[in-house]
Chain A
Amino acid sequence: MFLRMATPRLPVSRLDVAARLLAGALPRSVTPMIDRVRLDARAMLSSLGPGLPPVVKSRAGQTARPTPLEEIDPIDHLLPRRVAAAVHQLGRDLGMLGGMLSGRTPPPTIERGPSAYASVDQTPAGSLASRRVRVTFVRDETPDARSFGLAFDDGSPIAFEAGQFLSFELSVEGKLERRAYSLASAALPGVEPFITVKRVPGGKVSNAFLDGVEVDARIRVLGPSGLFVVPDDAGDTLVLIGGGSGITPLASIAETCLRGDQERRVVLVYGSRSDADVIFRARLESLAAEFPERFRLELTVGPRLDGDTLRARLGDFPRAATYFLCGPGPMMDACREALIEAKVSPARILEERFSRRGALDVTFEDQPVVVKAGAREHRYQCRAGQTLLEAGLAAGLSLPFSCAMGGCAACKLELVSGQVHADESSCLSAQERAAGFVLTCVSRPLTPVTLKLDA
């Protein structure tokens, strides 16, 4: 928004006030003449001596001009300030009384100016600052999966949608590691939020969680964020397909939907390696008993869920169902392929992947970045190894983001020119990738780049 600068005004003189009084007393047709005489007289007097200030340049470089005749209020210049204010108030009071008695009521609403909150509502806070959560309970789910109850340290509620995740920052062996864990609890009032972490052999963060995090531990998080949530147009049935720890967002979606929604049906197909590895068995079976008409639970134990297993079941699911996939990468790839083969629209398949690729094997150099926002361009330098988002925020730009680890797509921008290396981009859809979008939080420039930010 651009504010128009008011033209600087010269102080009102007695001559101006006299001219205004005269113009008020005489017919309107002679006002232009009075004004001309006033301006000429001002010019003459200013050239004669120090009586009136000359026309001057203001600091903004604009020429200061005499106040227009119609804007001069003699009351403000002839009466002491307090009396003048009282006279004005009396004028408004009488105007209001007269208006009301002749049937003119004041407007019922107040004209609103530009919103002070628009920018706050449209972009998240302008830093990668995380918040602290406190661990409120620890509970074993299976021999190698444990749940951790969470509350924000400042007492504010963890507001999330079923299926969303928190990005945790843990210091492991002196290095800050960031990992996302889905909130596994139902997103319903009165339910204490928790995550469930499964031990990954050799996994730094999962082992740190299971071996080192106890009740009252404080951990920094970003989020909640993520797009693996039930869309408004999800239809009557949700089919949730998961394997291993992929059950965490699916259990949240299932329970939230069953308890919070009166209509929708849920099918959960969940595969585990062994009986002992089934996470949330009691919780899921109790939901199945409570909602026999709306919830179908299919637990498979043994070999990994694959395309064939899914194909055999597809005939049982309504055509208009929305599918949610979460689990090991090969399982998700196989299930997705089976669904596409069965002519399920890709728009009805939602996926959540948290696997991280290995260390970067690319060498970076400092690169210039241009962000186009409407007609404006912002330029900044991205240091070798910095992400586009990190460098942009450091340069003071208000770029959108949420999870800051490639999981939620809040930071996606269109890459107009140049090349980037993205270490994770799974949450961008194929269409978005084809349309040239990149996730700034996990993309590092390989060449000078230009990005487009919707203004």
Chain B
Amino acid sequence: MNTSKILQLLPPKARDAVDPYFEAFEVLSSVRDPRVLRSLAPSGVRGMLLHRGKQGVPTKVRANHEVHFDWSYPADMPEMRELYTRAKQNQWDSDTWLDWSIDVDPMNPETDLLPDNFMNFEKMEEFGIHLSREEKREGKMAMASWMLSQFLHGEQGALFAAAQVTEAVPFFDGKLYGATQVMDEARHVEVFHRYLDTKLEKLYQVNDNLFVIIDALMADSRWDMKFLGMQIMVEGLALGAFGTMYQMTKEPLLKELLKNVIRDEARHVHYGVLALREHIIKHLSESERREREDWAFEVALLMRNRFLSYELYEEYYADTLSRAQWREVVYSSKGLEHFRHTMFRRLVPNLREIGLLTDRIKPFYAQAGLMKYFGEAAAPELTEESLLLDLDRGSVSAE
């Protein structure tokens, strides 16, 4: 159904009021696999229709997973044991590793939070919004606050998902490693919250689409779906988003903060690939594998298309732009384009590595323009340092 045609028939105010619901309908109706739809729809309703993350009260999500105990403490996955050792050795204390005395001035061009071309101000001018230099700077600061707020909310999801995964995973070495990830995620929540709270002094609501993904993961009872969702998809998203900001920011505290977080995240994705590779290829039926393959594709599209910073729009531009115009501004921004590139460069090879990018689904990825990332390096081929080095090299070309 072409919803944009129906929307055109409505008066502007009514159009903007129902636009979020049409958008939600569009997302859900585009899902091809009915099993994927069944798994995502309840979360879609809770996140996109009912805005459960924004109701002003703590959100309760019922968890249904099984806790897996093993009283024989098997050494069942040496690679994961090695990852556990590395994680123990690489713990860091945010109080001493980061220089919190740095005075962050978002209006100082020498320590720009984001580059000038991160947002598409030219497109906004086409729509009649002319911003002064200071207003643009304020807009970029708001965008940085919005992004970091979403990182923070995502890390809260990751913290609880890592705890669930630690309970549910059937490899004992994976449980030990999982515990280090729980600690990592707690630290990430701490540093992002501290940065937002003490430096930018602003915290945005959780984005509805991010809420949908987190809600779906928390509620799904299957451990491998939690793994797929959290360790591959969300961590891949995180690597894309953190990497983009790391490359683009000139603010020294934020850069150092992201550098340390990225090192941790690289391990997390590696964990996901190790845990899922054998499970998906050897232990799932073809039908189960296909469901996960479709699920990953739909979530990838959701992540690619739907992080549209509407919260920022509502704060600053809702009186002057329509939601459709805002979408155009965001879709055409250099920052988002770079984010997509970094994210899929990490995500697609990992899906290939765990057996969720077979010939059956490849045409859909090709249609979405994502097959160019197929031959890139997957997590097990990348160390924390090589990943950062890669980002540092990329920052030259991003400028």
Contact = CB atoms under 8 A, between A and B. Distances in A.
Q: Do A and B originate from a single complex? A: yes
Interface of A: 85, 89, 92-93, 96-97, 100-103, 105-110, 112, 115-118, 120-121, 125, 131, 154-157, 159
B319 to A, nearest CB: 12
A96 B198 CA distance: 31
A93 B54 CA distance: 10
B311 interface: yes
B96 A156 contact: yes
A117 B203 contact: no
Interface in B200-230: 201-205
B76 interface: no
Given A97-B50, A107-B205, A109-B315, A120 B13 contact: no
B55 interface: yes
User: Binding site of A, secondary structure by majority: helix, strand, loop or mixed?
Assistant: loop
Interface stretch (B97-105, B291-299, B329-337, B381-389): B97-105
Contacts of A109: 202-205, 311, 315
A118 B198 contact: yes
B312 A108 contact: yes
Interface stretch (B16-24, B35-43, B124-132, B371-379): B16-24
Given A96-B51, A101-B17, A155 B92 contact: yes
A100 B17 contact: yes
Q: Most chain-B CB neighbours within 10 Å: which of A89, A96, A103, A110? A: A110
B314 A105 contact: yes
B321 interface: no
Interface residues of B, number: 37
Nearest to B101: A121
B205 A110 contact: yes
B312 A112 contact: no
A149 B342 CA distance: 37
A96 to B, nearest CB: 5
B51 A106 contact: yes
B198 A121 contact: yes
Contacts of A85: 60
Most buried by A among B57, B90, B201, B205: B205
A121 B96 contact: no
B197 interface: yes
A59 to B, nearest CB: 28
Contacts of A157: 97
B391 interface: no
A117 B16 contact: no
Contacts of A110: 203-205
B95 interface: yes
Contacts, number: 75
15 contacts: A92-B55, A93-B55, A96-B50, A100-B17, A101-B18, A105-B318, A109-B205, A112-B201, A112-B202, A115-B197, A117-B194, A121-B101, A131-B96, A154-B93, A155-B90
A331 B68 CA distance: 73
B100 A106 contact: no
B56 interface: yes
A103 B197 contact: no
B395 to A, nearest CB: 13
B49 interface: yes
Contacts of A120: 95, 100
B148 to A, nearest CB: 13
A103 B13 contact: yes
A439 B44 CA distance: 61
B102 to A, nearest CB: 9
The 6 closest A-B pairs by CB, nearest first: A106-B54, A108-B311, A108-B315, A156-B97, A93-B50, A108-B314
A288 B127 CA distance: 54
Nearest to B52: A93
Contacts of A116: 197
A156 B93 contact: yes
Contacts of B198: 115, 117-118, 121
Contacts of A107: 205
A159 B314 CA distance: 40
Nearest to A85: B60
Contacts of B201: 112
Nearest to B14: A103
A108 B205 contact: yes
Contacts of B204: 108-110
A131 B96 CA distance: 10
B17 A106 contact: no
Nearest to B318: A105
Nearest to A152: B96
B17 A103 contact: yes
A136 B314 CA distance: 54
B313 to A, nearest CB: 8
B109 to A, nearest CB: 14
A364 B39 CA distance: 76
A97 B18 CA distance: 10
B55 A121 contact: no
Given A100-B17, A159-B99, 14 more contacts: A85-B60, A92-B55, A92-B57, A93-B50, A96-B50, A103-B17, A108-B312, A109-B311, A110-B204, A117-B194, A117-B197, A120-B100, A125-B95, A156-B96
A96 B57 CA distance: 12
Contacts of A121: 100-101, 198
Interface in B168-217: 194, 197-198, 201-205
Contacts of B101: 121
Of the candidates A101, A106, A108, A125, the one having the most CB atoms from chain B within 10 angstroms of its own CB is A108
Nearest to A105: B314
Given A96-B55, A159-B99, A112 B92 contact: no
